[in-house]
Amino acid sequence: MSTPGRGLHGRVLDTLGPAITAGEYPAGSVLRTDELAQRFEVSRSVMREAVRVLESMHLVESRRRVGVTVLAECEWNVYDPQVIRWRLAGSERPRQLRSLTVLRSAVEPVAAGLAARLATPEQCAELTECALGMVANSRGHRLEEYLFHDVAFHRVILTASGNEMFARLGGVVAEVLAGRTHHDVMFEDPDPAAVTLHVQVAEAVRARDAERAERLTREITEGALQELDILAP
Amino acid sequence: MSTPGRGLHGRVLDTLGPAITAGEYPAGSVLRTDELAQRFEVSRSVMREAVRVLESMHLVESRRRVGVTVLAECEWNVYDPQVIRWRLAGSERPRQLRSLTVLRSAVEPVAAGLAARLATPEQCAELTECALGMVANSRGHRLEEYLFHDVAFHRVILTASGNEMFARLGGVVAEVLAGRTHHDVMFEDPDPAAVTLHVQVAEAVRARDAERAERLTREITEGALQELDILAP
DNA sequence: GTGACATATAAGTCTGACTTTTTGTTCCCG
DNA sequence: CGGGAACAAAAAGTCAGACTTATATGTCAC
């Protein structure tokens, strides 16, 4: 997905990033740039660029006379989309999915409330369109089409909130929803109750009813929490 | 703060990062690596490392035969602590502060609710200690001491939530609170009502009353929103 | 044991040559 | 006159080698 192979250093990252985020090198492990360069058969300059990127993600720290030290998980930039993707692809997937779903449960209701106040007429229209698309594909194992509209729906909500930080979570939510459809148990058609809630959120936003939009969205995200067996009120 | 001068490429970033995030180069502007290297009086290798880091933050995109293109604001990794710091230091400060405060208003109440369920006895103790520290320094222009305990309080809440993504926002909240104390209008002693709320949150967490902890924290964050004239319910 | 000093090590830096990709131009032919 | 293929130039990408610098660690005298 996104950007496969944007240069040699990117290839290195595609291997090293997932390895580190998967915990293959325990915190405190020390790597040497030269050794890594040999292992990946690239020049030191390329390897250094890769290390610099990992460093900017706070996955590693490079110190003179010591080497490249792998940092503890609590230091990582867990909001970096690249890091999120690496973790979603590895063995940490379930935990990452839980973290993200909890984050969603905090952010999306507030975003929906703001969207109800700030959404443009175009965004309102887009929203109802998405909701209708979800309804139309909610039966007959049209999972891909359903997912497409579901992702679009949440993206519009987050964008319409007018908050750049919320908007930036659109990609994350997309990956969570896609993950649920593709990897996890989702053989059956989506829950009709969830579909209805989306339609109602679209209505509430169009009606500028912030409180209602927030409450309904909270119901949606609480459903997502329950799917993952995360304790709810 | 944090890491001043971790190598030559870091110095370059200290100048180039703020410049880009401040909007000095409009989206679509094209820079050339060699020219930049000359301008900053560093070698191309160092400049390339800096560009790679900016690229990993999605601030720029490097393409052959074209150069280093500055990306649109909506592409930026606005959750990267470095990017946040750069923006808080520049002319985008007010907007960044608003975004972050809205994010806080979404995250912290949910985090407090989770903390009420999951906090360890040690964390509960720490929390009450912080709240008491806030009370003790809430009068007599002891702003720095008050800030210290305030930051610690919110950090404990976010950490005790058990969610790594929430925990990671501790630093961000710290910068927001520090910014409010140092830059903005905060000559008077803190609002007594806010102090009381913190004490009550600590009590609620200790009493494992998730709903109450969430509600009280929501009151705190709504106060923060009002301070910035962000429309509230 | 403590402090100063020496040493080895690995990252950091610079330079210059070469490769590769991409874009824009030119030129030929339909 | 238009479209497509060949060409040329530009900028990033890659590599190899030499050199610098910081620093952890070990050594020795006191």
- A81-128: pLDDT as tens digits: 999 999 999 999 999 999 999 999 999 999 999 999 999 999 999 999
Inter-chain residue contact A77 with B80, CB threshold 8 Å: yes
A71 lies in a domain?
Answer: yes
Among B48, B117, B168, select the one facing A79 at the smallest CB separation. B168
B138 vs A: CB within 8 A = no
A126 vs B: CB within 8 A = no
Pairing of strands B67-70, B60-63: antiparallel
Q: Mutation test of the interface with chain B: which of A103, A118, A161, A215, choosing the one with the most B Cβ atoms within 10 A?
A: A103
pLDDT for the residue B227: 87
Which residues of chain B fall short of a pLDDT of 50? 233
Query: What confidence tier does A201 reach under pLDDT thresholds 50, 70, 90?
Result: very high
B56 shares its domain with B171: no
pLDDT for the residue A54: 98
B111 vs A: CB within 8 A = yes
B116 shares its domain with B202: yes
Coil, helix or strand for A116? Answer: helix
pLDDT for the residue A141: 86
B177 shares its domain with B133: yes
Among B9, B52, B210, select the one facing A233 at the smallest CB separation. B210
pLDDT, chain B, mean:
94
B84 lies in a domain?
Answer: no
Find the residue closest to C22 using CA and C1' atoms.
B65
B164 shares its domain with B69: no
pLDDT for the residue A9: 98
B112 shares its domain with B17: no
A64 lies in a domain?
Answer: yes
pLDDT for the residue A150: 97
Q: Closest-CA residue in chain B for A63?
A: B6
A53 shares its domain with A164: no
A99 lies in a domain?
Answer: yes
A138 shares its domain with A199: yes
pLDDT for the residue A140: 86
Tell which residue, B85, B108, B110, B109, has the closest CA to residue B176: B85
Q: Mutation test of the interface with chain B: which of A11, A55, A95, choosing the one with the most B Cβ atoms within 10 A?
A: A55
Choice among A37-51, A84-98, A175-189, B107-121 with the minimum mean pLDDT:
A175-189
B23 lies in a domain?
Answer: yes
pLDDT at A13 over 80: yes
pLDDT, chain A, mean:
94
∠ CA B52-B8-A35 to the nearest 5 degrees?
65
pLDDT for the residue B202: 98
Give the nucleotide with minimal C1' distance to the Cα of A63: C11
B98 shares its domain with B177: yes
- List strand residue ranges (DSSP E) for chain B, in order: 30-31, 60-63, 67-70
A80 lies in a domain?
Answer: no
| A116, two tokens | 């109800």
**Which residues have CB under 8 Å from B230's CB, separation 6+?**
B98, B101, B102
For position A201, which CATH number holds? 1.20.120.530
B143 shares its domain with B220: yes
pLDDT at A171 over 70: yes
Out of B16, B47, B75, a domain closes at B75
**Chain A neighbors of B81, CB-CB under 8 A:** 77
pLDDT for the residue B182: 82
Give A69's strand partners.
Answer: A30, A61
Burial of B226 (0-12, 13-18, 19+ CB in 10 A): exposed
Distance separating alpha carbons of residues A80 and A86, to the nearest angstrom: 10
Query: What order of strands is seen across the sheet that includes strand B60-63?
Result: B30-31, B67-70, B60-63
Inter-chain residue contact A78 with B168, CB threshold 8 Å: yes
pLDDT for the residue B181: 85
B105 shares its domain with B156: yes
pLDDT at A155 over 60: yes
**Chain A neighbors of B106, CB-CB under 8 A:** 106-107, 109-111, 166
CA of A6 to C1' of C30 (A): 40
B109 shares its domain with B206: yes
Out of A43, A75, A107, a domain closes at A75
| A113, two tokens | 């409330």
B136 shares its domain with B171: yes
Chain B: nearest CA to A106, how far in angstroms?
Answer: 5
List of A residues 9-48 with CB within 7 A of strand D: 9, 41-46
B195 lies in a domain?
Answer: yes
CA of B62 to C1' of C24 (A): 19
For position A59, which CATH number holds? 1.10.10.10
| CA distances from residue A201 to A121, A169, B102 in whole angstroms, order as listed | 15, 19, 21
CA dihedral A193, A195, A196, A200 (to 10 degrees): 130
Amino acid (1-letter code) at residue A166? F
Segment B139-148 long-range contacts (CB within 8 Å, at least 24 positions apart): B139/B189, B140/B189, B141/B189, B143/B181, B143/B186, B143/B189, B143/B190, B144/B181, B146/B181, B146/B190, B147/B177, B147/B178, B147/B181
Q: Residue A205's domain spans which residues?
A: 92-227
- Domain tally for chain B? 2
B218 lies in a domain?
Answer: yes
Inter-chain residue contact A82 with B114, CB threshold 8 Å: no
pLDDT for the residue A227: 87
pLDDT for the residue A6: 84
CA of A75 to C1' of C6 (A): 36
Q: Residue A31 belongs to what H/E stretch? A: strand A30-31
∠ CA A159-A206-A211 to the nearest 5 degrees?
80
